[in-house]
Amino acid sequence: MSDKIFVKQTLLIMAFIYVSIYAFNYFIDPYGKNREFINSINKQKLIADQRYDKFELLKKYPDSESFLVGSSRVLRADPIYVKSLTDTNTINLAFSSATPDEYALYIDYILQNYNVKRILLGIDLYAFTDGFQSNGAIPFELLDQFNQSHPFLLRHYTSYKTCAKSLKTIRYNLSGNDYPSYTSRGKMITKEFDEIKSDEKKYNKYLKENIMDASAKWDAKSDTLSIEKLNILYDIALKCKNKKVQLNLFMNPVYIKQIKMKDSKFYLQQELLKYIANNISPIWDYNGISSLNSDPRNFEDRFHYTAEVSNKMMFQMINNSSESYEGKLITPDNVLKYINDVNKKLKSL
């Protein structure tokens, strides 16, 4: 076989593999990027469905007045409990790996189409750093509402990582499991975790393996804050102010092991806290190095705090009760002293 024929055949084989991977990933569509071939083996997506689910939830409850917004950490917040505190119809609009540009669309939509009285928005460091992008897909109907183009990224369909996600999508759909599992108004149901908690021996083992001994990690992709994303948050706060909507911003609690780790980005989270308090809006912080951060029973895993913690946070913010829980309302007047006090606590540990 001549070298030319060998090269030609090799190129053809590579092209065939490349096109096959593209076609397979496009058909399975694990991130819900095109949603053109919905069938029994790809109906439930690994990530993107939460964004579609929450948009469908919006349309299901047009009488909603209060909204819980943010990442998977906020998914544990109970809209029924919030309703009991505010006397407003409430839904949970949070979804995994949420970024400001994504939830800004949902907030714009509800501000235009709903009688909004309150928005409770959880803040995560990763979402406000340069370089972070979620793999989720915003519903085309929502993009069309604001005349935004439908993204088409070739790399999403040609990577081996996406191929692995496609295989997981098929396996999950064939397993017969229900995904995701929400209450009727959007709170995530943590059935497996709740079952473990009912058995003290299993629960203690779970805490040790999944929280206390689990490796700490920050999802922030860089050491710099994104001015573009901070400007999006500023616009959200301004629109809420103009519409006379109560906006409660809060920094999601972090477990102490993550705060104390060698390459911790807690300093950058404090910079984010300071920027928001000085330039955007008062914000509740739940990382004052208290029992909230140090007790592993306050966390469901190394990243997510429990629904019980969420309820206490909601009570404190809605009632503006500084003494009722471990959070503190941070403003331009107290932000520097607060950060200094927190850093002194850290040094003493």
Report pLDDT for 293.
97
12 pLDDT exceeds 90? Answer: no
Q: Return the exposure string of 272-284: e unless at least 16 CB atoms fall within 10 Å of the residue's CB, then b.
A: bbbbbbeebbbbb
pLDDT attached to residue 213 = 96
CB atoms within 10 A of CB 248: 23
Contact 128, 122 (CB under 8 A): no
pLDDT of 298: 98
> So what's the pLDDT on residue 49?
67
Q: What is the mean pLDDT of the chain?
A: 91
Q: Is the pLDDT of residue 275 over 90?
A: yes
Over range 118-128, report the average pLDDT.
97
Distances (CA, A) of 121 to 93, 98, 316, 327: 10, 11, 14, 15
User: Mean pLDDT over residues 73-94, rounded?
Assistant: 98
Distance separating the N- and C-terminal Cα atoms of the chain = 71
| Structure confidence at residue 55 (pLDDT) | 94
Q: How high is the pLDDT of residue 198?
A: 94
The per-residue pLDDT for 341 is 97
In angstroms, the CA 240 to CA 114 distance is: 13
**pLDDT value of residue 126:** 95
Which tens digits make up the pLDDT trace of 157-205? 887 778 888 888 888 888 876 555 789 999 998 888 999 999 999 999 9
The model's confidence at residue 19, banded by pLDDT at 50, 70 and 90, is confident
The confidence score (pLDDT) of residue 25 equals 83
Q: Is the pLDDT of residue 246 over 70?
A: yes
Which pLDDT score, from 0 to 100, does residue 316 have? Answer: 97
Structure tokens at 244: 């006379």
Entry pTM: 0.85
How sure is the predictor about 154, in pLDDT bands with cuts at 50, 70 and 90?
Answer: low
pLDDT at 1: 58
Domains in the chain: ranges and CATH: 50-149+179-348 (3.40.50.1110)
- Write down the pLDDT at residue 178: 58
Nearest 5°: the CA angle 274, 242, 234 is 30
More confident residue, 229 or 219: 229
Q: Is the pLDDT of residue 98 over 60?
A: yes
DSSP-derived secondary structure for 60-108: H-TT--EEEESSTTGGG--HHHHHHHHSS-EEE---TT--HHHHHHHHH
Rounded CA separation 212/10 (Å): 51
Q: Say which DSSP state 121 is in.
A: E
pLDDT at 191: 86
Residues 23-40: what's their mean pLDDT? 80
Which of 18-32, 33-47, 270-284 is most confident? 270-284
Nearest to 319 by CA among 186, 91, 120, 92: 120
| Residue 41 pLDDT > 90 | no
320 pLDDT band (50/70/90 cuts)? very high
pLDDT tens figures, 101-120: 999 999 999 999 999 999 99
- Whether residue 31 contacts residue 135, with contact meaning beta carbons closer than 8 Å, is answered with yes
pLDDT in tens, 131-149: 998 867 788 889 989 988 8
Q: Is the pLDDT of residue 300 over 90?
A: yes
170-205 burial, b if ≥16 CB within 10 A, otherwise e? bebbeeeeeeeebeebbbbebeebeebbeeeeeeee
Q: What angle do CA 329, 330, 336 make, to 5 degrees?
A: 145
